Structure 1
């Protein structure tokens, strides 16, 4: 009965390995993206009475929503891949454990068959039957120790195997939940693409002079925010210098200046905001989370007054944007589609907080 049960379990795990070893598409639990924009369809030209500033705000809102949804999707993709790899590892461990238990049982069976061939008297028992009392006692002790060691080992292996199978079932159930979320995230990805297309179409319908004016309005807004931030005394007393790793991260980011922003990209030819910061720190020998939301959630936080070059500044209430602080009140970041990696004022956007990868 035990052999049949082990065989059934082994077949089940092997089948699981076959399925789970297949590439898993992006998927995982992640912050729920914001609902689709309720702005008027971008396919229609801007209403005559709408100012260019209103158009700029609408375009900015669309990109912001897309950025938040993209970050959630990137996080889902990263977590799902890790979970899939963990399930495959557990399944392999189960197969290996079953093989080890089977090997021990085979050895025990071989010893029993050898005992039968020797007339039912094992070597240990022959030793026990000696006339030497000391040898007799020693033989009994070794016999008991050997039997107990074998029994204890089998019991321990069986318990570990049972625990491993239980853990694998739990991991599988979790993976099923993630797979269901993957479908939701796939829909979110379509929403992302729709938002990007809407923003690009809205911007493309403007005349060349209007697009230039739009860019200037964007710069003016950033300049006002930066001036207000500096005027608040945010940089008063800040004098920290970059760590050796921070200097390497800054050097990497500086080398990317002028490269285009692309959703989900992490180099070498293009980047999104967190793709740039994660790769910058990877080049410095420090792995950090892929998304700005996870960088904010998992990396050590520092006060703005204590920040130093190399730190990451997280922006907006939903942590949907991130830039690499380079000192003197400036960051290097990948702004949004249609823009390139650039230097900007650290206070040109709403700061959520600061994190330090090498703290």
Structure 2
């Protein structure tokens, strides 16, 4: 995501600028930024570019919230499945103990000497019955042990079922959060796309070039040492992704958002990174920007809502924003908040 762009200096006078900037762009800028529709064309152009930047930044922050909610929902889903599996195993244990007591009751019934304690099998409140049975000294040693195990097993089963229910309820809430964040992302992106489409081709091109170095081809990475062998592998993977599209919420291999690219690249090196840019910045040891080495993660903005991978020669590889493919950009394209060595 490119931010804090400065307007390109075209050398055109104000009257020529007025013919370059479309009326649609001025109207869109006025709508989104509050500027009057008859504002100075140059001011309107700058407002339009700033509005696109703002909308894309908001979309990226919402994307990371979407990723975080999705990651949490997946974790809760796994918790719920484990609790349900554990409940099923505990239910099997309860059933076996009931079967054992049933067999004893059947034998006693056939001899006409059924122990009242075995009425537990028909009781909906085993704890209360056990207290009465123990007081009346009607429970034999073997039956008492089995009944005690049954009581503990039933308590554990109830607890496990409660945990599973709690996890499922949390999962539903997080799924709702994912849906809300998705709508926010889509709304911001629609607004940004409309505003970009309203600009003339020259203005759209200048928006994309505004923070670029203008250097064609790949940066000179000769003689640049990575932070570690796994960092070298991650850089190689990130370079393989060059040119692939930005797809919000995606972590490869055919498309990426910013944190998805970092997660995928390090996964190719055998390293599991968290899903969001905010979590990735704490996935290793922080180092000064002046000491950045290839493979280090560079987080941008105070809230770390964007992230890229330093590759040397003052460049990062990152997934910028929708419509811009994975590419090289200057490490200083936005304010750097941290550099993390994995």
Relative to the length of structure 1, the TM-score reads: 0.67
Q: Following TM superposition, by how much is the alpha carbon of 1:95 offset from its aligned partner in structure 2, in angstroms?
A: 3.0
Cα separation, 2, equivalents of 1:69 and 1:60: 14
Q: What value does the CA root-mean-square deviation take over the aligned residues?
A: 3.4
Deviations 1:2-56 (A, max 9, x none): xxxxxxxxxxxxxxxxxxxxxxxxxxxxxxxxxxxx9643699895533444432
Q: Following TM superposition, by how much is the alpha carbon of 1:99 offset from its aligned partner in structure 2, in angstroms?
A: 2.6
Task: Report whether the alignment pairs 1:324 with 2:306.
Answer: no
Q: 2:50 aligns with which of 57, 60, 68?
A: 57
Q: Secondary structure at the match of 1:157?
A: helix
Between stretches 306-315 and 283-292, larger displacement belongs to 306-315
Distance 1:212 1:248, change over 3 A: same
Distance 1:165 1:270, change over 3 A: closer
* Correspondence for 2:87: 94
* Correspondence for 2:325: 340
Cα separation, 1, equivalents of 2:212 and 2:293: 25
Cα separation, 1, equivalents of 2:203 and 2:54: 18
Point out where structure 2 has 5 or more consecutive residues left out of the alignment.
1-27, 115-139, 216-223
Q: Could you tell me whether the CA contact under 8 Å between 2:76 and 2:168 is conserved in 1?
A: no
Between stretches 312-321 and 322-331, larger displacement belongs to 322-331
Point out where structure 1 has 5 or more consecutive residues left out of the alignment.
1-37, 122-143, 224-238
How is 1:295-314 mapped onto 2 (pairs within 5 angstroms)?
295-296=280-281, 298-304=282-288, 307-314=292-299
Q: Following TM superposition, by how much is the alpha carbon of 1:171 offset from its aligned partner in structure 2, in angstroms?
A: 2.7
* Correspondence for 2:247: 262
Q: Could you tell me whether the CA contact under 8 Å between 2:226 and 2:232 is conserved in 1?
A: no
Relative to the length of structure 2, the TM-score reads: 0.70
Q: Secondary structure at the match of 1:41?
A: helix
Distance 1:240 1:171, change over 3 A: same
Cα separation, 1, equivalents of 2:243 and 2:38: 30
Q: Could you tell me whether the CA contact under 8 Å between 1:312 and 1:354 is conserved in 2?
A: yes
Q: Secondary structure at the match of 1:198?
A: helix
Q: Following TM superposition, by how much is the alpha carbon of 1:197 offset from its aligned partner in structure 2, in angstroms?
A: 2.1
Cα separation, 2, equivalents of 1:81 and 1:47: 49
How is 1:18-37 mapped onto 2 (pairs within 5 angstroms)?
none
Distance 1:176 1:340, change over 3 A: closer
* Correspondence for 2:99: 106
Cα separation, 2, equivalents of 1:214 and 1:116: 89
Cα separation, 2, equivalents of 1:210 and 1:307: 34
Q: Secondary structure at the match of 2:226?
A: coil
Q: Could you tell me whether the CA contact under 8 Å between 2:319 and 2:325 is conserved in 1?
A: yes
Between stretches 250-259 and 344-353, larger displacement belongs to 344-353
* Correspondence for 2:155: 159
* Correspondence for 2:188: 195
Q: Secondary structure at the match of 2:95?
A: helix
* Correspondence for 2:31: 41
Cα separation, 2, equivalents of 1:195 and 1:45: 21
How is 1:214-253 mapped onto 2 (pairs within 5 angstroms)?
214-219=207-212, 241-253=226-238
Q: Secondary structure at the match of 2:146?
A: helix
Between stretches 56-65 and 249-258, larger displacement belongs to 56-65
Q: Following TM superposition, by how much is the alpha carbon of 1:162 offset from its aligned partner in structure 2, in angstroms?
A: 3.1
> How many residue pairs end up in the alignment?
280
Deviations 1:136-171 (A, max 9, x none): xxxxxxxx8855653453343233223323323433
